Structure 1
């Protein structure tokens, strides 16, 4: 086990931190600083050095601590600018120009937040006319780290909106600002910090995850890894072996315990094999093959190349674990420790977990081989077998998509405690495998970021997951619907959060719907009512309760703009009544309520609306905000 090595992703995670110079790198020319709040500036200087910071007519002093860190708080300012920020020590001066005071929003999440304006539907004209000096943009690069960083690495820049800058910027974030600025006439600063495919746990601090519970073993592995990556991977590998042994599935030493099936020649993405149980997204699969070696080859140093794999793999040779890697389509190459290979038949076993699509071992067949010191190669061109595994293994804690705290450490911690007006969050697709737990995680995540940004009432605007997949012929169980319900309940529990419903603007055939213009508009509407106190707006139709009277269940709604209305039909569809099973039912709008006809012989206990991966739902208010999907009890 001591030969466990950190593979492709480790090089990325081990990049050195960017050195700070007087001002933290998040502060650059063209930045927007949050209005109507004390303005926090920070950076590094020589230890015990006196630092003076000034903006406009305000000036304050501080002394760098023994490690050179300093921080000041300047008085709050109203919207305006441009201003100059100056930071001085006895021997150095840093000046920022073209600084605006306005409202700053942090936009984060996974791929639907990352999707750029150029990827949105019909975005060409929007990009062409996007020049706007009062909207400033900053992109945070994808950086994952096992410990919290104090500064963003690389070149960080703020820039006024322009066709060149906007085209590659988060579409949801940009369209939100464009819509909001029609009614909120102040400069807007947008910080985009998403990571495609990321689980919410990767955007939470280690402390928040400990408080949330259920992550202790993975957090311990991450702690070991942060101090010594080789030791961390060894520790994790031992834990994975213990996990599978606990399942009675030590296939790397007892392959006869599995039911093996011959894999297609050339392997490739397993959803293309024509195997019904592998056509669904994601999953876990065991692989095995063997290679015959001479005594001379077996005695030489060797690397095992397995080509590209998605998403996480653990590899054993002759019963000895030699490596684990996490990453999409990353080339796998593992050093084989001395003494592991032997003359004759050598067995190779892999466990591959994948959380979404494009799963398996793919690429040219000759990318899978053993390469020996001196340049010779033995291809792994023999027969491969596979065994479908129903159990999902624990995932590598230092992965940037299914790990713990990695994206928070590399991308969010360096921004704290920058002044913010609010946070936009478009994430959840990667948590649908444990959808019920998402409510607690979302609440813990909001509390975590409020603490980090020193803003106890920091508002959060949450995009509820859109529709995905074909509409159902009959009521069905749905992890996507359960995740949406977790989002709804977490927001309901929080006086400083709002939900942008997108159940009607998804893409039944794709994970990344292109209508980000409307997502941005709905987020802006939620911001106006939640953050800016626009009393003319309400959040949209939400259930206030359901009661039964004879053959009718009445669902009461609040949050309505105007009145309830059905689109494209006289009455709404998508309602279900449930007892042991659920049934679609006839619905009729009655003022601020919807009346549901109880099927004969049924005693309903629950009402569900829009409960499917990709439902068709037609209840709106007259401002064209859709009713939120939900499940509530019947009284």
Structure 2
């Protein structure tokens, strides 16, 4: 019976009390970080009509459990504090107490496998895991209940395909050598850098799913206004030709053996449930979490949306819609959203990265047009044959820098960005913002990466010289566009004085 009771709690995603009549939502646990400067939302379940008293430090509110067995309260916003607080939840017959609650900033980390990539496999892991624990950095890992790459799911994993059960409830932990090992490396390094710079407690909630496409993290509502996106949420997802064939293939690899065995699998409006199904991860991950006040989002995803020209172009409408949906879910139109640009990988081993330059450029343009959206350039820390490059510390630190500049208003130098191109005698002059004390090359070699081209892509390489904050370009040939770093695996090498790299780009020539 004890095992059965534990399973019931796992399925419900709720924390046990001293009596079964009162429970707290999954994210409310001892050791958590409460979002500062926002009303504190606490919720859970209990016996209908039961009176519930909730006390956090010197604030207390009361409510009544609704007929559907849910309850929720809102307490006043609190300022950041590293002094541990207690939360007390009481009814006439039950009492639940949480301790060691800090108040600071909570960041949600999501995406696919490069966000899920753990610290233990990261290039700097040996040094990182030797470092002292940070009691002001707290980690919460939401682990998928059903996830395998190209292997069949087991029968005992099938029930986790229900969206309400897909993520297993985690546990808030202090960041130390044990808790950090399997936690997202990008999320951890970015969160650590923010915590150390800002000085307030930071909570990190990770819920990435390897291989997941962007549309799995969305819902049909809000996408249907765009015909290009509406087609993603139509009919059986296994037969939907506007989706990524690789994702559908993975679905078959995971589910076909269970289907042949006649095993009953959960289904929804788009067919059999799977983590790559449009909308499933939004329902499983975003909706439950959106009740918790947070500071913002960190995102590393795109590989599963960049394997064809059609998908790369589709993403330019898809990703802004995703950001706006998440902002509506949290009811915060200006919710900060920071993402990692796709890195670099060549096609020589058969990886379909031909359209990664197009995808990276779309990400660059988006970061410059949406408010409270920032990007970490990562094309220089890729790998020619590995879609999971191991230097995640550089990625996390750059993501944190964007967050510190835009959200925390720190006077730091951002990555260089192209501003305009001017024609000059014998060539062109490219002006960059955020050059700092002057442009340089990352490896001390001659400038690489520039080319002339037309709408189909680059065709003529250009020579380039760095002169302070500008690039002087020369070469023979004609073209309508200036390209930079326009290869799946790029060796383009311009950085600013803080050694932050220039992004892949395509600009019209005057």
TM-score under structure 2 length normalisation: 0.84
Aligned to 1:415: 289
Q: 1:121 aligns with which of 115, 119, 123?
A: 123
The 1-side partners of 2:166 and 2:77 are apart by 25
**Relative to 1, partners in 2 of residues 1:106 and 1:414: Cα closer, same or farther, differing over 3 Å?**
same
Aligned to 1:456: 333
Highest RCO, 1 vs 2 (Cα 8 Å, sep ≥ 6)? 1
Q: CA deviation at 1:111?
A: 0.4
Q: 1:102 aligns with which of 90, 101, 104?
A: 104
Q: 1:480 aligns with which of 356, 360, 371?
A: 356
Aligned to 1:41: 42
Residue 326 (structure 1) aligned with residue 252 (structure 2): yes
Provide Cα deviations, 1:38-92, integer angstroms capped at 9, x if missing partner. Answer: 2111122233433322211112223333323222221111222210111223333
Would the aligned equivalents of 1:198 and 1:400 in 2 still touch at CA under 8 Å?
A: no
Q: Residue 101 of structure 2: SS of its match in structure 1?
A: strand
Q: CA deviation at 1:129?
A: 2.1
Would the aligned equivalents of 2:167 and 2:285 in 1 still touch at CA under 8 Å?
A: no
Aligned to 1:312: 249
- For structure 1, which segment, 402-411 or 208-217, has the greater mean C-alpha deviation from structure 2 after superposition? 208-217
**Relative to 1, partners in 2 of residues 1:449 and 1:515: Cα closer, same or farther, differing over 3 Å?**
same
**Relative to 1, partners in 2 of residues 1:499 and 1:527: Cα closer, same or farther, differing over 3 Å?**
same
Q: Residue 379 of structure 2: SS of its match in structure 1?
A: coil
Aligned to 1:252: none
Provide Cα deviations, 1:295-327, integer angstroms capped at 9, x if missing partner. Answer: xxxxxxxxxxxxxxx9638xxxxxxxxxxx534
Aligned to 1:174: 188
Which one has the bigger helix percentage? 2
Residue 620 (structure 1) aligned with residue 495 (structure 2): yes
Q: Residue 197 of structure 2: SS of its match in structure 1?
A: coil
Aligned to 1:541: 416
Would the aligned equivalents of 1:172 and 1:517 in 2 still touch at CA under 8 Å?
A: yes
Q: Residue 595 of structure 1: SS of its match in structure 2?
A: strand
Aligned to 2:32: 31
Aligned to 2:267: none
Would the aligned equivalents of 2:442 and 2:493 in 1 still touch at CA under 8 Å?
A: yes
Would the aligned equivalents of 2:144 and 2:166 in 1 still touch at CA under 8 Å?
A: no
Q: CA deviation at 1:566?
A: 1.9
**Relative to 1, partners in 2 of residues 1:327 and 1:619: Cα closer, same or farther, differing over 3 Å?**
same
The 1-side partners of 2:393 and 2:57 are apart by 36
Q: Residue 183 of structure 1: SS of its match in structure 2?
A: helix
The 2-side partners of 1:213 and 1:70 are apart by 39
Q: 2:483 aligns with which of 600, 608, 626?
A: 608
Structure of higher CA gyration radius: 1
The 1-side partners of 2:142 and 2:322 are apart by 19
Q: Residue 504 of structure 1: SS of its match in structure 2?
A: helix
Aligned to 1:404: 278
Would the aligned equivalents of 1:499 and 1:526 in 2 still touch at CA under 8 Å?
A: yes
Mapping for residues 212-223 of structure 1, pairs under 5 Å: 212-214=226-228, 216=230, 219-221=233-235
The 1-side partners of 2:138 and 2:213 are apart by 28
Q: Residue 622 of structure 1: SS of its match in structure 2?
A: coil
Would the aligned equivalents of 1:127 and 1:166 in 2 still touch at CA under 8 Å?
A: yes
User: Unaligned regions of 5+ residues in structure 1, if any?
Assistant: 1-14, 222-234, 244-281, 285-309, 314-324, 337-395
User: Unaligned regions of 5+ residues in structure 2, if any?
Assistant: 1-9, 16-21, 147-159, 263-269
Q: Residue 199 of structure 2: SS of its match in structure 1?
A: coil
Q: CA deviation at 1:421?
A: 1.4
Aligned to 2:213: 199
Q: Residue 324 of structure 2: SS of its match in structure 1?
A: helix
Mapping for residues 206-285 of structure 1, pairs under 5 Å: 206-214=220-228, 216=230, 219-221=233-235
The 2-side partners of 1:236 and 1:115 are apart by 27
Q: What is the root-mean-square deviation of aligned Cα atoms in Å?
A: 2.9
